[in-house]
Amino acid sequence: MVSNIIDKVEQKQLKAKVPQFDIGDTVDVHVKIVEGDKERIQLFNGTVIARRGRGINEMFTVRRIVNNEGVERIFPVHSPSVVDVQVRRSGFTRRSKLYFLRKRTGKAVRLREVWTGKSDKNKSQDK
């Protein structure tokens, strides 16, 4: 009974269009930043190393290297401050949590890329 009421309240807070991305993808997260009375959109790009939760509690962690220092941010998927998530590159992984990347530096951080179909050049030759 209580669970049904909570689910109905949470349903109103969920985003209609949830961004599609997986663990290992390199993404650009567009975050709304409020400074005083001004608003702006700031990009945070990096690799998705974890996803957890479900429904309104779903979160994802993005990691990037800035000045040879690892920076991680955790974003709620359904937050109004997360405007958009764009996938720049899809990485192949066999794990659901990529915490092992925290110990790696340089080229060892890269993941193998997943190709999702033919390029535009090959499509035009097939016709």
At 12-41, the pLDDT tens digits run 888 889 889 999 999 999 999 999 999 999
Domains of the chain, residue spans: 12-103
Over residues 55-64, mean pLDDT: 94
Beta bridge partners of 28: 45, 86
Q: What is the pTM of this model?
A: 0.82
12-103 CATH choice from 2.60.40.1930, 2.60.40.10, 2.30.30.790, 3.40.50.2300: 2.30.30.790
What pLDDT is attached to residue 110?
87
Q: Name the CA radius of gyration of the chain, rounded.
A: 18
Q: Per-residue pLDDT tens for 82-126?
A: 999 999 999 999 999 999 999 988 889 889 998 877 555 554 445
Interstrand relation of 59-66 and 26-35 (parallel, antiparallel or unpaired): unpaired
* Count of Cβ atoms closer than 10 Å to residue 116 Cβ: 7
